[in-house]
Amino acid sequence: MEQGEVLVRLAVALGVGLIVGLERGWQQRDAADGSRELGLRSFALVGLAGGVLGLLAQSLGAAVFGLALLALVGLLTASHWLAAREDRDRGLTTEVTAMTVFGLGGMAAVGHAVPAVACAVVIAILLSGKPVLHRWIRAIAPVELSAALQLALITAVVLPVLPDHGYGPYGALNPYSIWWMVILVAGLSFVGHAASRLIGARRGVLLTAAFGGLASSTATALSLSRMAARQPGLEHTLAAGVVMASIIMVPRMMLMALAIAPALLPFLLAPVLAMAVSGGIAVILLVRSGAAERAVESTGAPASPFELGIALKFGALLAGIQLLARALQDWLGDVGLYALALIAGLADVDAMTLSTGGMVSGGLPLFTAASVILLTAAVNTTAKTVIVAVVAGGRMALAVAASLLVSLALGGAALWLSPLN
Spans of all domains in the chain: 3-136, 140-416
Q: Tell me which long-range contacts 67-76 makes (C-beta under 8 A, separation of at least 24).
A: 68/102, 69/99, 69/102, 69/103, 72/46, 72/98, 72/99, 72/102, 73/99
Q: Which residue has the higher pLDDT, 297 or 262?
A: 262
Q: Which residue has the higher pLDDT, 104 or 182?
A: 104
Q: Is the separation of the CB atoms in 253 and 214 below 8 Å?
A: no
What length is written for the chain? 421
Computed over its alpha carbons, how large is the radius of gyration of the chain? 29
pLDDT at 277: 93
**CA distance readout (Å), 273 to 225, 308, 366, 380, 414:** 27, 37, 18, 18, 9
End-to-end CA distance of the chain: 71
Is residue 167 helix, strand or coil? strand
Average predicted confidence (pLDDT) for the chain: 81
Half-sphere exposure of 137 (CA within 13 A, CB side): 6
Picking from 70, 51, 61, 59, the residue whose alpha carbon sits closest to that of residue 5 is 51
Q: What is the pLDDT of residues 371-418, one digit of tens each?
A: 888 888 898 889 889 989 988 878 888 999 999 999 999 988 888 887
Q: Is the separation of the CB atoms in 407 and 278 below 8 Å?
A: yes
The single-letter DSSP state of residue 336 is G
**CA distance readout (Å), 281 to 234, 252, 328, 419:** 19, 18, 37, 26
Q: Flag whether pLDDT at 323 surpasses 50.
A: yes
Sign of CA dihedral 389, 393, 397, 398: positive
Q: Is the separation of the CB atoms in 290 and 236 below 8 Å?
A: yes
Distance CA 93, CA 81 (A): 14
The single-letter DSSP state of residue 307 is -
**In the structure, what pLDDT confidence band is assigned to residue 120 with cuts at 50, 70 and 90?**
very high
pLDDT at 80: 75
Q: Which residue has the higher pLDDT, 276 or 30?
A: 276
Q: What is the pLDDT of residues 261-292, one digit of tens each?
A: 899 898 899 999 999 999 999 999 988 887 66
Half-sphere exposure of 265 (CA within 13 A, CB side): 6
Mean pLDDT of 171-176: 79
Q: What is the pLDDT of residues 349-367, one digit of tens each?
A: 776 777 677 778 767 788 8
**CA distance readout (Å), 410 to 214, 250, 285, 310, 357:** 22, 13, 18, 33, 23
